[in-house]
Structure 1
Amino acid sequence: MIDIAREAFSLAGIDVEYVNMSWARALQQARDGYIDAVVGALPGDAPDFVFPDAATGYSTIALYTHPDNDWQYGGIESLSELTLLAINGYAYSPVLNRYIERHQDDPERVWILSGPAPLSRAIELLHQQRSDVFPEDRYVMNWQLQQEGDTESLRMAAVIHESPIYVAFSPVGRDSTQLATLLSEGARALQRSGRVSEILARYGVSWSD
């Protein structure tokens, strides 16, 4: 998504600076006007933000467990006897978001992770069997496990939600509406030219996956 945003904005002569920070901090920084946008947002993450017309990606949220764990997802209540990891400020699905909000003060039910590298921490906790299940975008998790050289180290137990995802712009930014429009126009131009497919291919995915 960052690669697509860089090239889409370059068509309008705009440079993109990407800064890695925790998701909750990124949302607050944008709300305070210190940064222009966040990458990988669902409308449920930031309903007050300015969203472009065109999505810049597509998210498939899955539940992951240790490979020795044979638990099967049978609806939200099937999580009740497990410890669920969740990243602070993330939106996963409407149903799971409500579950996390309901139990976020009970660490036996929901364990909230923060910081700049919560995905690596979540994978480590699952490997150590210190927690039971973790929701993550399927493409993000596949990429992370490939980088670690062990794509079989976790089990994908279920896919629970699919949704377009966006670069979302600060609700207080004076240029947010214009930037959202420029991103949509640029992304569509890259899609028509075939450039989006070339970018995605570097990561082993396609727009239709």
Structure 2
Amino acid sequence: MLKKLFILMAAIGFVLSAASVNAEQTVILSNGEYPPFFSQSLQNNGIGSHIIREAFALEGISVEYEYMPWKRALTMTRDGYYDGAVGFRTSPKREETFFVSDPVLHIETVVFHRMGDQFDWKKLEDLASLKIGATNGYLIIDILKPLVKQHGGKLDIALTDIINMKKLLAGRIDIFPCEKKVGLHLLRTHFTPEQMQQISFHPKPLLDNKLHVLFSRNKASGSQLRESFNRGLKKLREKESYAQHLEECYTHEAIP
């Protein structure tokens, strides 16, 4: 009888162990509005959100997103309220504070300006005497702040990219550095064709950068989650359909 009981308990233990191994883990990531890459209202929450979800899925991990302003997402993730924060550039300071993933997306920040202005620039100092719109929580603020202070310009910080684009249109700021696809998406979806014709961008990239997932160092699982995500991202990119799928997602969002 005891022998049978022992065998039964061993069998149950094996089943529970197998179930535990196969149980899907869930991570909670902070997210924000940065369409067409990240947005609560877009299909699959935007191409960046979709890539992150698919990469984790290849490691048996499901993803839940919670949306908030970008600065709050960074702060709350740093403090351990979330497993990670999606869609951030890296910097030496952020690498000290977070476990930084492999790059998720390549982005290009350009300078938007009013069509009638005779605007040109070659180096950052050429921008530093102007009134520059910037969005709260973006890395560009840290880059431009010392230059603006030195050359007599001004940083006008707003909560969202939409507010900054409206300020540019109204002449309340001189220029607005913004990711090119993000800026064009905003113009298409929030402004009239007549207003769109009043805004242009300089072809010279201000920043040529990449977006990452930042995993909290205040979560015991932070380093392990980064490793799992990087493995899943590598598997995803090795799929033959990946490049085609990425192109289809961009086309769906009508990104030039």
Shift of 1:195: 4.3
Shift of 1:153: 4.5
Partner Cα separation in structure 2 for residue 42 and residue 66 of structure 1? 27
Q: Which runs of 5+ in 2 are unaligned?
A: 1-47
Larger Rg: 2
Identity of counterpart residues, as a percentage? 24
Shift of 1:180: 1.0
Shift of 1:68: 1.8
Spell out, residue by residue over 1:126-163, the C-alpha distance to the aligned partner (whole angstroms, 9 max, x if none).
11111111111112222222333645452112312212
Partner Cα separation in structure 1 for residue 206 and residue 135 of structure 2? 16
Partner Cα separation in structure 2 for residue 32 and residue 176 of structure 1? 12
Q: 1:40 is aligned with what amino acid? A: G
Q: Secondary structure at the match of 1:159?
A: coil
Do 1:3 and 1:199's aligned partners in 2 also have CA atoms closer than 8 Å? no
**Residue pairs, 1:90-101, within 5 angstroms:** 90-92=138-140, 97-101=142-146
Do 2:131 and 2:156's aligned partners in 1 also have CA atoms closer than 8 Å? yes
In structure 2, the partner of 1:82 is: 130
Match 1:18 to one of 65, 72, 85: 65
Do 1:27 and 1:46's aligned partners in 2 also have CA atoms closer than 8 Å? no
Do 2:59 and 2:231's aligned partners in 1 also have CA atoms closer than 8 Å? no
In structure 2, the partner of 1:123 is: 165
The alignment status of 1:145 with 2:187, answered yes or no, reads yes
Which one has more relative contact order, counting CA pairs under 8 Å at least 6 apart? 1
In structure 2, the partner of 1:67 is: 115
Do 2:132 and 2:155's aligned partners in 1 also have CA atoms closer than 8 Å? yes
In structure 2, the partner of 1:164 is: 210
In structure 2, the partner of 1:136 is: 178
**Counterparts in 2 of 1:91 and 1:196: CA distance versus 1, 3 Å:** farther
TM-score normalised over the length of structure 2: 0.69
**Counterparts in 2 of 1:189 and 1:152: CA distance versus 1, 3 Å:** farther
Do 1:41 and 1:167's aligned partners in 2 also have CA atoms closer than 8 Å? yes
In structure 1, the partner of 2:10 is: none
Shift of 1:57: 0.6
Shift of 1:71: 1.2
In structure 2, the partner of 1:174 is: 220
Partner Cα separation in structure 2 for residue 5 and residue 82 of structure 1? 37
Q: Secondary structure at the match of 1:194?
A: coil
Shift of 1:177: 1.1
Q: Secondary structure at the match of 1:39?
A: strand
The alignment status of 1:51 with 2:96, answered yes or no, reads no
Partner Cα separation in structure 1 for residue 215 and residue 197 of structure 2? 36
In structure 1, the partner of 2:11 is: none
Shift of 1:199: 3.4
In structure 2, the partner of 1:154 is: 199
Q: 1:80 is aligned with what amino acid? A: A
TM-score normalised over the length of structure 1: 0.83
